């Protein structure tokens, strides 16, 4: 959205040169979520804990309930810590699209501030590629 230019209501632009536009729409949240999930801890300067270790789990046994529980824990912690605009509901491995080189994670979440109820949950698919 647009940053306010008249912060004290006197009719002049008080923030000239200092305007900050915050992205709050669903696409901005989606992009931030994908960046968070695909960033390894230590990759983001000055925020060493930002990200998840899900990329390190690419070669784990993905059919194991323990692996899925670990994925859910990693994702839940990172979202709760670094993405206050969404509420993590759960993650699942899309077994219909699994092959030897790709993993598709379906991340289910809801937006903070929305009324609760049916149809409010959203799902984003994050693709992890196993490179040789």
> pLDDT means per 10 residues in the chain (132 residues)?
60 58 71 91 92 83 82 91 90 73 85 73 82 62
Parallel, antiparallel or unpaired: strands 122-129 and 102-111? antiparallel
Task: Please tell me the predicted confidence (pLDDT) of residue 119.
Answer: 61
Return the closest-CA partner of residue 47 out of 11, 15, 83, 7. 83
Tokens of 57: 């789990």
Backbone angles phi, psi at 38, to 5 degrees: -95, 0
pTM here?
0.70
Distance CA 96, CA 62 (A): 13
Q: What is the pLDDT of residue 6?
A: 61
């Amino acid at each position: 959205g647009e940053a306010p230019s008249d912060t004290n209501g006197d009719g002049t632009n008080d923030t000239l040169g200092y305007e900050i536009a915050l992205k709050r729409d669903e696409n901005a949240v989606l992009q931030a979520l994908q960046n968070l999930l695909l960033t390894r801890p230590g990759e983001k300067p000055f925020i060493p804990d930002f990200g998840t270790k899900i990329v390190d789990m690419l070669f784990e046994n993905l059919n194991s309930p323990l692996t899925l529980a670990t994925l859910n824990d990693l994702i839940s912690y990172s979202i709760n810590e670094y993405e206050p605009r969404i509420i993590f509901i759960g993650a699942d491995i899309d077994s219909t699209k699994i092959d030897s080189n790709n993993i598709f994670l379906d991340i289910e979440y809801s937006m903070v501030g929305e009324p609760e109820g049916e149809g409010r949950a959203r799902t984003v698919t994050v693709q992890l590629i196993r490179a040789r």
